[in-house]
């Protein structure tokens, strides 16, 4: 069984400040981990994914995430927030076998303040 916990349903940062969105996972098998972003009235867009290669994963729009097995975490960061980063962010986990459905966290709404 797999699960994802996202700490903080709402995060506000000032433009130019560090973005840190937290994700912890639970998985009985080595996981694949994902961050998706959802802009208003749009579908889910992949930001980045971890698939057991490098533990520091770089994604689109300047985001990156680090897989820490000892902490069962996959936090998303961006050094400098931009107004266009305002959206909802979802962390997700999947297995690595034949069943690859995604299990999502509850999401974090990011607000960027001018």
- Rounded Cα–Cα distance for residues 71 and 96 (Å): 20
CA–CA gap between residue 48 and residue 71 (Å, rounded): 19
Nearest CB to other proteins, comparing residues 2 and 17: 2
**Shortest Cβ distance from residue 92 to other proteins (Å)?**
8
Neighbouring residues of 75: CB distance < 8 A, sequence distance ≥ 6:
20, 21, 22, 23, 65, 66
Binding of other proteins by 77 (CB under 8 A): no
107 touching other proteins, by CB under 8 A = yes
For the four alpha carbons of 89, 84, 60 and 68, in that order, the dihedral sign comes to: negative
Among 7, 17, 22, 51, the residue binding other proteins under the rule CB under 8 A is: 51
- In the set 1, 53, 56, 99, which binds other proteins (CB under 8 A)? 99
Residues lying near other proteins in the complex (CB under 8 A) are found at 32, 34, 36, 41-46, 49, 51, 90, 92, 96, 98-107
């Amino acid at each position: 069984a797999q699960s994802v916990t996202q700490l903080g349903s709402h995060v506000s940062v000032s433009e130019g400040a560090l973005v840190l969105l937290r994700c912890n996972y639970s998985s009985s098998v080595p996981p694949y981990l994902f961050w998706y972003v959802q802009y208003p009235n749009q579908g889910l867009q992949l930001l980045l994914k971890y698939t057991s290669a490098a533990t520091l994963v770089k994604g689109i729009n300047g985001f990156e995430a680090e897989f820490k097995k000892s902490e069962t975490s996959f936090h998303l960061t961006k050094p400098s927030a931009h107004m266009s980063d305002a959206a909802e962010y979802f962390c997700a986990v999947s297995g690595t076998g034949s069943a690859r459905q995604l299990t999502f966290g509850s999401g974090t709404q990011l607000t960027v303040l001018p």
